[in-house]
Amino acid sequence: MTTSTGDNMFTLQPGGSVLSRKPKLADLIDQASFRDLLKSFSELYGIGVKVFDQGGQKLVDFRAQTTEYCGLMFAHYETKVRCTKLVGEVKSCELDSPSPEAKQCFSGLRYRVGPIYLEGDFLGRIVYGPFRPETLLRAPGELQGLAPDMKQQQANDLLVQIRPIAERAIDAVVLHCQKVVDTVIFSGYKALVASQMHIESITAAYSDLEERNRTLSQANDKLREMDRLKSNFIATVSHELRTPLTSVIGYSEMLLEGLAGPLQNEQKDYVATIMEKGESLLQLITSILDLSKIESGTFKLARNPVDISLVAKASLTDVLPQARKKNLNLVSHFPEGGQLFLLDEEKLHRSITNLLGNAVKFTPEGGTVELKVQHFDGSLPKESGKGFDPFVPENNKWLLISVRDTGIGIPDDKLQKVFEPFFQVDSSSTREYGGTGLGLAIVRNFVEAHGGAVWATSELQKGSVFSIAVPFSCAITK
């Protein structure tokens, strides 16, 4: 028998009782409401709040104003090691007192760590911080000794951006928050006990629900079968279209090469147009087929060791003819060392080529398109949707690929929509630039399948930057 409290599910064994076992913290709270509650404390007082259960599983994580300062600490080896060690202590240190304990960070910031109890049983801990004490006016001088290349003025500038908090104020906030959490936990425990005591009264309703679930499952199976048939139909039609279309392109190419005899200039122009339009149609069919595979769940990655610099150079070669037609300046930057990554080479190549092709398409004649590949360690821009994680430093290392252009730019209100299927910034029938609106949607799915992120920034009439971030965990250790 399974019942629930808020967002959480737990199993009740026949003849068993919640009173006979120690409940977990996640069983006692409605996680959405609990997160909203602690989020309000974090935003109101400008203090980060994290909650871990007894096993160290993170249930809540709200960061305040210290992200950039902590990011600076993680950007240098020795300070990163110390930060990682301190984070480990905060997550696992023994809490001998029911009152929150203070933890001092070498960076000058501080933590408060308080236990969560239920009738004497330890359920987890709340970590408040890091926060800047009121007396901390400058970054500690010892940072220069730990990381000689760290700029003291930069550390000071980032530190003073953090709102200072008096010790008495933080003690009052922590005490108040602890009382509220204790009340929530006790209320959750009472709800859990009540659900156990009324289990017999809901058995009939549960059986009815099971029957409805079976009916719904059958309906879902039918929908999945219909979706499979749709995908098969698209795949079949795409194959049937691609075969003759490939022949059209091939014969057009042979005609242009003069294999069937010489052509007049006007005839060559016509045949070149046939080949160009055929290749555009073939690309459209391929994109629709890719999107169909993604939607049907049959899309899979074929990971192999890949030198990202070679892939990026191949993508530049693909767009070189179009760039030369518009007299564009192609600029590239690649890291040294030939680091290998376990990636799907074909899909990554198509993603980079797509971004470069868009940059070339939307950049006026004589402009610049820049491709940059770099190793990045730190906090990604907020547009990426990937937050900085001080508790798992390896999650903050990325392979960053960016394409910058000096093109027409994208309005702010349409910047996020460009990754949606079939979306066109200019959707009018008289639009200047062609395209199906599938390319960026496919790029997003390819990149997210690797565990990465893709985002864009832009300024009208000045250009755009499209960036791809792939986790550095894909790297192969030499």
User: Same domain, yes or no, for 239 and 331?
Assistant: no
* pLDDT, tens digit (0-9, with 9 covering 90-100), for 37-75: 888 888 888 888 889 888 888 888 888 777 888 888 888
User: Same domain, yes or no, for 309 and 275?
Assistant: no
Q: Which residue from 21, 198, 37 is spatially nearest to 118, judged by alpha carbons? A: 21
Q: How far, CA to CA in Å, does 235 sit from each of 153, 279, 402?
A: 60, 18, 32
Specify whether the CB–CB gap between 359 and 403 falls below 8 A: yes
**Domain count of the chain?**
3
Task: Please provide the distance, in angstroms rounded to a whole number, between the alpha carbons at the two ends of the chain.
Answer: 51
Specify whether the CB–CB gap between 69 and 155 falls below 8 A: yes
Residue 11 placed within a domain: no
205: its two tokens: 């309703």
Instruction: Choose from 195-209, 291-305, 431-445, 447-461 the range with maximum mean pLDDT.
Output: 447-461
Residue 87 placed within a domain: yes
Neighbours of 62 (CB within 10 A): 16
User: Same domain, yes or no, for 275 and 313?
Assistant: no
> ω into residue 164 within 30 of 0, thus cis?
no
Residue 466 has pLDDT above 70, yes or no: yes
Q: Find the CATH number of the domain harbouring 358.
A: 3.30.565.10
Q: Which residue from 129, 98, 138, 130 is spatially nearest to 114, judged by alpha carbons? A: 98
Residue 19 has pLDDT above 70, yes or no: no
User: Same domain, yes or no, for 421 and 460?
Assistant: yes
116: its two tokens: 């969560």
Q: Which residue from 160, 184, 171, 158 is spatially nearest to 28, judged by alpha carbons? A: 184
User: Same domain, yes or no, for 330 and 457?
Assistant: yes
* pLDDT, tens digit (0-9, with 9 covering 90-100), for 87-140: 888 888 888 778 888 888 888 888 888 888 887 788 888 888 888 888 888 888
Residue 16 placed within a domain: no
User: Same domain, yes or no, for 259 and 165?
Assistant: no
Task: Choose the final residue of a domain: 134, 164, 197.
Answer: 197
Neighbours of 393 (CB within 10 A): 16
Residue 94 placed within a domain: yes
Residue 10 placed within a domain: no
Residue 292 has pLDDT above 70, yes or no: no
Residue 416 has pLDDT above 70, yes or no: yes
pLDDT band (50, 70, 90) for residue 144: confident
Residue 2 placed within a domain: no
DSSP state letters, 293-336:
HHHHT------EEEEHHHHHHHHHHHHHHHHHHTT-EEEEE--S
User: Same domain, yes or no, for 234 and 181?
Assistant: no
Residue recorded with tokens 């509220």: 180
Residue 330 has a pLDDT of 92
Residue 70 placed within a domain: yes
Residue 207 placed within a domain: no
Residue 10 has a pLDDT of 39
Task: Choose the final residue of a domain: 162, 197, 232.
Answer: 197
User: Same domain, yes or no, for 181 and 280?
Assistant: no
User: Same domain, yes or no, for 169 and 152?
Assistant: yes
Enumerate the β-bridge partners of residue 343.
Answer: 304
Q: Distance between CA atoms of 214 and 216, rounded to whole angstroms?
A: 5
Where helices occur in 124-166 by DSSP H, the ranges are: 142-146, 152-160
114 φ/ψ angles, rounded to the nearest 5 degrees:
-120, 140
Residue recorded with tokens 């309906």: 219
Question: Can you say whether residue 255 is alpha, beta or left, with left for phi > 0 and alpha for psi between -120 and 50 degrees?
Answer: alpha
Angle ∠(152,80,138) on CA atoms, nearest 5: 30
Q: Distance between CA atoms of 436 and 354, rounded to whole angstroms?
A: 12
Residue 1 has a pLDDT of 38
Residue 21 has a pLDDT of 66
Largest Cα–Cα distance of the chain, in whole Å?
A: 94
User: Same domain, yes or no, for 189 and 100?
Assistant: yes
Instruction: Name 127's Cβ contacts closer than 8 Å, sequence gap at least 6.
Output: 48, 49, 50, 51, 52, 90, 91, 111, 112, 113
Specify whether the CB–CB gap between 401 and 350 falls below 8 A: no
383: its two tokens: 């547009």
Task: Choose the final residue of a domain: 241, 268, 296.
Answer: 296
Q: Find the CATH number of the domain harbouring 103.
A: 3.30.450
369: its two tokens: 């398109």
Higher-pLDDT residue of 395 and 435 is 395
Q: Domain range spanning residue 152?
A: 21-197
Q: Distance between CA atoms of 52 and 422, rounded to whole angstroms?
A: 42
